[in-house]
Structure 1
Amino acid sequence: MKRLWTPAWIARHVAMVVLVVGFLALGWWQISRAASGNTLSWAYAVEWPIFAGFVVFVWWREVRHTLRGPAATAPEAATGAGGTPDPAVRGVRRPVRVTRVPVAADTTDDADLTEYNRYLTWLNANPGARPGDYPG
């Protein structure tokens, strides 16, 4: 629980309270405007409390994430039985098997086009790979 009382978290708590109170006050102000005849204000009267609810939702999600702590992101939590990577754990990538593809001789004089075609050939030969995995 001490993790939620650091200076950064105190600022987050204060920001959450200020935003929620402000959004609810704006919603109340829109209700008073709508009651005086401004029909568009009825939509805003509903919208501001939804914004306040969203702020509470994000704050609560961040509190839960902080209280879970680093155990959920530790390397030993990312492995399953036998030390194999568990794909159910977020952030764990399966290894990509890279296949070397020989490039046919290209008759074009454009070096950039040749390199781009080599890159596309490699991507086609390695369907599970990401563009950042390209060895060239």
Structure 2
Amino acid sequence: MSDKSIQQAFSWKVISDQKIVKQIDKSAMLYKTTGIPVEIRWFFTLEQLSPGKKENVTLLYEGNHYDAFFSMGVQESPRSRLVWRSDFSSIIQSRFQNLYRSWKHDNEDPEGSGYIVFKRKSAILYEVFFDTIINDK
């Protein structure tokens, strides 16, 4: 299913065909992963990823490359996820220290918010930025 008219799904907001924003949540902050809603899989070109398979990608932040991968679950209605390593997770935690401390200490309602902006360079390369607001440009 690829409906590019979908502009928002859960904690994701499509800005353009090349840019999408993810509001950081507890799983992104603490567990190095985030779910990709079926409605926006098209942005990451995941329509052809088979259940149980992975696709390696690179996240580019401030000129540095970070290894990550997309995975597709094996359930009847499979879930897709983006998973990154500890080196990239440390950047998120450092950039949003208040959120990190709150969630690390089981505060389910932290103050403030943070966003990861993904700018697609290719199907396997995404430039990443961080912000505290959603910039629709």
Range into which the TM-score falls when normalised by the shorter chain: under 0.3
Structure index of larger Rg: 1
Question: TM-score, structure 2 length as denominator?
Answer: 0.19
Which has a greater percent of helix? 1
Which has a greater percent of strand? 2
Question: TM-score, structure 1 length as denominator?
Answer: 0.19
**Bigger relative CO (Cα 8 Å, ≥ 6 apart):** 2
